[in-house]
Amino acid sequence: MLCYWGEEEGVRAGFGLVKPGRVQRTQSGVSFFSPGGRITQLAAGQRLVGFIRGDGSVSVLRLTPLEAPSEKTIPESLELKEKIRLMSCGETQAVLLADGGKVLLMDQLNFCRLILSGTKVIQVACGNQHCMALTHDGQLFTWGENSSGQLGLGSGKSNSPQPLRSLRGIPLAQISAGGDHSFALSLSGTVFGWGRNNAGQLGLGNAENRSTPACVNHLNLKKTVFISCGEDHTATLSKGGTVFTFGSGRFGQLGHNSFRDELRPRVVAALWGSKVSQITCGRNHTLALVSSSNTVYSFGWQLGNWQQTNQCVPLPVDLLPESNHGQEIEQIAAGGNHSFALCSQQENDSVQPESTQNEGILVLEDRLIDRWISECAPDDFFCILISHQPSLPEERYFLFGCLCGLAFYNNSVVNLPFPLALFKKLVNVQPSLEDLTEFSPVLGQSLQSTLDYSDEDLQSAEMPYTVSVLKKFVEAYVDHAMNGSVERVFEEFRRGFYKVCDRDVVKLFLPEELRGVMLGSEEYDWDILKQNVTYEGLFHPRHPTIISFWEVFDELSARDKKAFLLFLTGFDRVPVLGMNQVKMRVRPLLFYTQDHLPEALTCHSLLELPVYNTKETLKDKLTEALQHKRGFWDD
């Protein structure tokens, strides 16, 4: 099901995908219809809309200008050899990303030509008159109009893709382009913006244009996972579902209950606690999707609620009549003065427990680690990382280094079977015989026995060696085992780790401290966890639901208690400084039934608990929530 709303002038009913008679409309002004084939993605620009079908084919529709509303066009299918998987639309042009990483640029006549030939691209973004492409090896290319510095290259425009050298070496996770401004998001959550800043849409605290990338310091430590740009405003989504907006508020598109501009990122208070999963910006409006309630919120201009006035606070959009409420919203998109929602039929309308997985949250679960270990040679020195004959592609070591760097950067505790020697090597401390003994006791004890010989022992045994010779032999053996034989694969791991983390900061840690921060501990003190809990709303320590909860918790097995810690925080190990660092919060779950399961916001160690009628119901629902899903794989 495809829903759309907004400006109607120059728009053919159903956007030409179906006959106008098949398009239905709700009382709130939202049109909806079932397209002839499955649509996997849609992209919208100022006057351009693109639809990608399940077979990789693309249809584009150019919307007529307001001054020529009678000329209603029909979509044109692009004749392409490649299967398209992503598309981004600008004012009159679009960028298409095909399978295999090929990039096609579509001009005003819908003619597509290949650009960045021989380069594998993983993301594309299109502003009004400029484009961006992120490659597989981390390079960012920009091209097009540069009137406000939106290319990040300084002055002067470029008709061909140029590398953005100022961001070279920074691993990027996402790119986004607005009217005349651009954004890039690093793997660590750092946000960079450049281009037009007349209304503060760069979030830098001023209204000065930037021709080179500038770090948005006000979003530091906000754990940003997604950015969307409008004409003159920007929205960001944090890992816990919090939305920040900044820039022009002329049409209420910031959602702050005002029409003034914001020069710095500001939380959309009306969406606080809603766990927003998707955001998208149109020209002068913003959409937010809350998947848990299957609700789209909109604010700004052209909202699809029959209202001609601008709306400055988020309001839910009544997408479908009750007869179609089995539809689940998969994607939202906004462009120009239109909004879209792609829906699909739910397979099961029953209440399902939510996974602890959130987009952007790093989860390394035991099953993944075990699989990597099983793929390694049995005589690997550093378990899954270091072997004299590496059994994994070198790229895997680099990527795993990036993952470990992300875990350290985000203070994430992961249970990885790393010996102390690995952390010594990361901070340039030479491993010793004791480190070799840690993961190969037989070999280490054998070498230690060699060192225990005295000169007298060697002379009495008539051995042609001296103690100094044996010592040099052991030192050379340890150096070869811990350094020389594994140099190539460890350097790949180290390169990935420091791709994310600052080398000078990491070197402030002792090896033991570094291991403690990353691996945590298994010293579980559940009494301390209980003592540090804070209660919100109607909950307090003597509330019947809270009393029942702790009684059920005390009855859990040690394994289930660890599963609860994972459910609550995203980690099943204790931080290096102890259980005191886990600040658990408990509040009532809003709009619940007795069939709902407990929910957790791992970023804040927040447990949302329905007020169950009986202790037995609480126990059943809590147990089901803990056992349902872990990480990225279903049980």
Q: Which residues carry out catalysis? A: 603
CB crowding 125-161: b at 16 or more within 10 Å, else e: bbbbbbbbbbbeeebbbbbbbbebbbbbbeeeeeeeb
Angle at alpha carbon of residue 358, lines to 355 and 360, rounded to 5°: 155
Residue 194's alpha-carbon distances to 17, 90, 167, in angstroms, are 37, 18, 12
435: left (phi over 0), alpha (psi -120 to 50) or beta: alpha
End-to-end alpha carbon distance in the chain: 30
What is the Cα–Cα distance from 342 to 348, expressed in whole angstroms? 18
CB-based contact 561:567 (threshold 8 Å): no
What is the Cα–Cα distance from 522 to 562, expressed in whole angstroms? 10
What is the Cα–Cα distance from 449 to 549, expressed in whole angstroms? 56
Q: Identify the H or E element spanning 561.
A: helix 558-569
Q: Which two tokens stand for residue 468?
A: 């100094």
What is the Cα–Cα distance from 313 to 37, expressed in whole angstroms? 35
| Angle between helices 441-451 and 467-482 in degrees, nearest 10 | 160
Backbone phi, psi, residue 424, to 5°: -60, -45
Q: Which two tokens stand for residue 190?
A: 């750092």
What is the Cα–Cα distance from 113 to 108, expressed in whole angstroms? 12
Q: Is 70 exposed, middle or buried (0-12, 13-18, 19+ CB in 10 A)?
A: exposed
Strands (E), 116-232: 121-126, 130-135, 140-144, 158-163, 172-177, 181-186, 191-195, 210-215, 224-229
Backbone phi, psi, residue 581, to 5°: -80, -15
Closest CA to 416 of 433, 402, 404: 404
